[in-house]
Each structure stands twice: as C-alpha cells, then as structure tokens.
Amino acid sequence: MVTSYGKILRKIRIDEGEILGDMAKKLEISIAYLSSIENGDRSLPDGFTEKISQKYALKKNTIKELKNAEEEYIRETKISLKNTSPIKRETALIFARTFNNMDDEDMKAIKQLLIRKEKKNSEV
C-alpha cells in the first residue's frame, strides 16, 4: 500500500529527475529498501526525513509535509500475516497482545534486534 510518505518521496525523486538507483545511492541505502519505503512495505530508518531534507535541500513546506506524512506512516503501519508461517503469525500476535505492557527496556531490546535484522536485509 503506497503511503503519503512514499508518494512525497517519489515526487521528490521524479522532480529531481532521478531514478530509484540515483536516490538510493544519494541516501546510502539499497534500491530495494528505497522501493520498499516508497511502497510502504518497510519502516523508515531513524533520521530518514532529515537526511532527505539535507541531501535534497528541501523547502520548509516540503519538509513539513514530509514530517506530517512520517507521523501518519508511523501511526498507520499495518502488518499482513497473510502467507506467513505459523511461528511468524504467533509471534506477531503475542507481540500485539503484550505491546502495551512492555516497559522501555523491553522495547529497546526488541528495537535493537529488529534494527540489526533490517540493516542486514538492506545490505543484500
């Protein structure tokens, strides 16, 4: 599902006359990862909006639009459990059920694990 963030990101890329590979190289991420962000299939790396703003010298109104879209992206991220293995479905459901009961230390540990996995996948 293409998000508002993805649409803005794609517009910036097209306005700059860049193909996916050009923007990915400029942002120092893989083409697949950038495509996944544009399509709303991957989470945004920390500081990603700021990085885009700097690399493309965006105007204040575009930065504001991008930050608003980032907030929306974060609030509305959905996970499809269709065509996933039973262990993945079970893990996702347990996480969802216990999410509000986890403390910040639990979240930090989970976040670090997921960041390492995401970085490993984006290097491929």
Quick one: pLDDT at residue 51?
Answer: 95
- Residue 110: name the closest of 89, 94, 86 by CA: 94
Residues of the domain holding 58? 4-75
Say whether both 69 and 8 belong to one domain.
yes
68-119 pLDDT per residue, tens: 999 888 776 667 788 899 999 999 999 989 988 999 999 999 999 988 888 8
Same domain membership, residue 14 and residue 71: yes
Are 22 and 68 contained in the same domain? yes
pLDDT digits (tens, 9 = 90+) for 28-37: 999 999 999 9
Sorted by sequence, the CB contacts under 8 Å of residue 77 that are 6+ apart come out as 43
Q: Is 117 exposed, middle or buried (0-12, 13-18, 19+ CB in 10 A)?
A: exposed
Same domain, 71 and 97: no
1 falls in which pLDDT band (50, 70, 90)?
Answer: low
Give the contacts of 122 (CB within 8 A, at least 6 positions apart): 29, 30, 32, 33
Q: Per-residue pLDDT tens for 40-72?
A: 888 888 899 999 999 999 999 999 999 999 988
